[in-house]
Structure 1
Amino acid sequence: MRTPVVMTLGMVFAPCGLLLNLTCTLAPGWRLVKGFLNQPVDVELYQGLWDMCREQSSRERECGQTDQWGYFEAQPVLVARALMVTSLAATVLGLLLASLGVRCWQDEPNFVLAGLSGVVLFVAGLLSLIPVSWYNHFLGDRDVLPAPASPVTVQVSYSLVLGYLGSCLLLLGGFSLALSFAPWCEERCRRRRKAPSAGPRRSSVSTIQVEWPEPDLAPAIKYYSDGQHRPPPAQHQKPKPKPKVGFPMPRPRPKAYTNSVDVLDGEGWESQDAPSCSTHPCDSSLPCDSDL
């Protein structure tokens, strides 16, 4: 996995801010005082948090000057010492956490640790920005920051500029690294959505459970269980004959032609003139077509 852009920016801005703040803290250049009476015109005095240096014509520089006005006992100077040292320590801690969280040599960075380092670096930037801004606010106030009387002038020196730049870089780097929390929060929210709810939801509409009769299944489904076909219970018993319903009807006699009147009576079939029985059967009870 490529290192995210926010982590890359944070790892670039934070060391630069640390270097600038370290220079701002140690260098004697918070305030420039010049225009001393009974001194050469090019004499300048650089005041810092820990030391004072006297410079003339950019050729001779003498540090460790005595504090004649009580500058080092001023409240902005004492507060700036404490907050700048604390800011440096917090920056080192934040960079250590960032190097462990970003892990450019690994496939997956630790988003939580990288985001935590961003928070620490952002706090370090605030700790350095507060004393620099406060010192700059009382820079010309001779009652808060003692200095020789007029015509001596006081001006902003390079250490304050470096302090502002270092604080801004720490704020940007810390904010950039703190954005590493976004993928972690997104993954956590996704897990919460996929996780099952604690209990069943109660419906706002009251429901009534109705038990419907089971439909008749086909024999192939009804008697199939445990992977085997089971014969229905009726197959183990002999089928009973179905009872006959109704009453017997009388059968009609077969139809036949009968004649109750003897139509041959008096015909004299016994006479000799009568035709012989070879053509007409004499014992037949049915009339012949010729007789009719």
Structure 2
Amino acid sequence: MQAPAKASGLPGVKHIIAIASGKGGVGKSTTTVNLALALVAEGAKVGILDADIYGPSQGMMLGIPSGTRPEPVGDKGMKPVYIHGIQAMSISLLIDENTPMVWRGPMASGALQQLVTQTQWENLDYLLIDMPPGTGDIQLTLAQKVAVDGAVIVTTPQDIALLDAKRGIEMFRKVDIPVLGVVENMSTHICSQCGHEEHIFGAGGGQRIARDYDTELLGSLPLTLKICQQADSGQPTVVAEPESDVTMVYRDIAKQLMVKMDDKAGSAKKVPQINIIED
């Protein structure tokens, strides 16, 4: 039996978390898929909605075979694809993978709305939405159509990435979506030959932005070729190396998100207390 829909929410989904970035190329999609797998490893039921209409990548990162299509349900519904213990839906599952999405903003927003409303999620604890970079139509459509519980901002320590991440934080605040925290990707590079660790994109950027915007740094991840190769091969780090140091970082971030969602649900259920004072 599916969980009921929240107000303006989705049937079968308890919590919705947007994974976003101000600019492309900071590892947002890689972070999304590994956080989803980390939540699964912690015992949660998890789904991924690939909302990057112009550049969907979750199908490849999850290793979904080319040509896979979602199973239809009724006249308009469709079941998500199951893989690695995750329920997944992406525009890439509905089109040829080599077809460019040459759409204007309203068309892309309409496609996202159909993915959101027609996917039949099954009793998810968490739905992670892999957002496109930027602060445009897709982000506004999501904020208007879905009751998002919170957003995670992915950035690199580089100043230009931090500038765009700040815009992303401001955007979510304008549409009343709380920012749960910041994930700093490509924080350091460790030489595979000598083990030397270097902050090639700068140091402390994620911590500064978290401090300046009254949120927190959820975790920092290194720049390594292996993370990229594993995602490209359809075996993300959390399933490829479940005991690695990088996987432990993802799992720690996942645990923090679970606590935040529990706290949020608890505060929403609190009933005002009536204090009776006798004269």
TM-based fold match above 0.5: no
Task: Give the structure-1-normalised TM-score.
Answer: 0.20
More strand by share: 2
Query: Normalising by structure 2, what TM-score?
Result: 0.20
Larger Cα-atom Rg: 1
Q: Say which structure, 1 or 2, has more relative contact order (CA 8 Å, 6+ apart).
A: 2
